[in-house]
Amino acid sequence: MKNVVVVGSQWGDEGKGKIVDWLSSEADVIVRFQGGHNAGHTLVIDGIVYKLRLLPSGIVRKNKISIIGNGVVVDPWALLEEIDEIKSKNVEVNSNNLILSEAATLILPFHKEMDEIREDAAGKSKIGTTRRGIGPAYEDKIGRRSIRVMDLSSENNLDKRLDVVLNHHNAIRKGLGKPEFKKEQLKNDLLNIAPQILKFSQPVWKKIDEFKSENKKILFEGAQGVLLDVDHGTYPFVTSSNTVASSAATGSGCGINSINYVLGITKAYTTRVGEGPFPTELTDEIGELLGTRGKEFGTVTSRKRRCGWFDGVLVRQTLKISGIDGIALTKLDVLDQLDEIKMCIAYEINGKKYDYLPASVDDQFVAKPIYKSFKGWKSSTVGIKKFEELPENAKNYIKELEKFVEARISSISTSPERNDTILIQDPFNL
């Protein structure tokens, strides 16, 4: 029995939804451990499309336990809305199959407003956030002034906690020429939804410990990608949480010895949403082709994703940082029509060659990719389920990719359909 962590090895949007859904069919417990409702997973099961933002992917499957860990920041209204949306598709959601950490930080309306105020004021320096209050909520968490799920159980405590957090926010709002945020209406709104939220609330660390003692298979589901990690990503164009695999332990309350295998979801090319450096970005017709064939639009925001060649340097870097054991390669079929396919194997920065991406954002913006070229296969790979049935040039590309990033490819996705997968290694059964 193994417990598996799934993380994105690029800037997110690697196709984690399909892979997590496949793995969650084997797992007993599925845990979200960081991020907020800015992270979207699209699942297609028996022709029904589920677009999840906060809920773990296992929620759509019967006899699975879904957990939202303490490392997640939770918009309580967004959570209840998503639960209603899923229920409308005949999915059962109750306190037996959904557990919310009592220690999870809440995203409140003033967090969203602060997100919008900052992005609008930043002009060309904007980060490209989803404007959903994720960053400001994490700031309050680190500043020890956040409202947590457990605070909803006491009106007296909630009142005190709101005073603390609003003293901070209203000082900033005043400095920005914005009106103060009033406490009473927010307090009443929170108390009104408190029973609906608290019925899911439990000590997640304790539940996970129980599940471990029962030898249940646990799948830890990450959001975004390693290149958006607040410590290891392309800072400051990053998210506000740690997206690396080790965050699964911190964000759920279990030891790192609970993690047995780390699977990195890796797209056969590269995409990015929002602002920030992107060395292999293509702004030509090939970039448009990748975006069109790959349907590269954000699940949550519908924003068009920037597209480019596979960046082997960055993926190799994220694999080492996040301790990734194997790769699930996605969207290979998007490359089917290309005459030539390129892979970045190094950078040139101010006349010097680099085999990694330096931490300086100035260097990142001027990094010029050095490519290795491959012949395209010019034939459809859609639906292929055996590696040996792939076109020869596709096999060559995959083998070179695997060799360069120094990690084994455990599966290859050949269409958005769940069953269109070449399984080489099952993380749960090694």
Q: Which residues are catalytically annotated? A: 13, 41
- Region of 144 please: left (phi>0), alpha (psi -120 to 50) or beta: left
Q: How many CA atoms lie within 13 A of 363 on its CB side?
A: 15
d(CA 10, CA 305): 13
The token pair that represents 358 in the structure block: 């330096």
Show the tokens assigned to 197.
Answer: 């939220």
What size, in residues, is the chain? Answer: 430
Cα gap 283→74, rounded to integer Å: 36
Encoded amino acid at 380, one letter: S
CA distance 393 to 122: 46
Burial of 44 (0-12, 13-18, 19+ CB in 10 A): middle
Rounded CA separation 147/105 (Å): 6
Token pair belonging to 406? 């120094």
- The values of phi and psi at residue 270, to 5°, are -130, 140
* Strand pairing category for 65-68 and 29-32: parallel
Q: Distance (Å, rounded) from C-alpha 250 to C-alpha 71?
A: 7
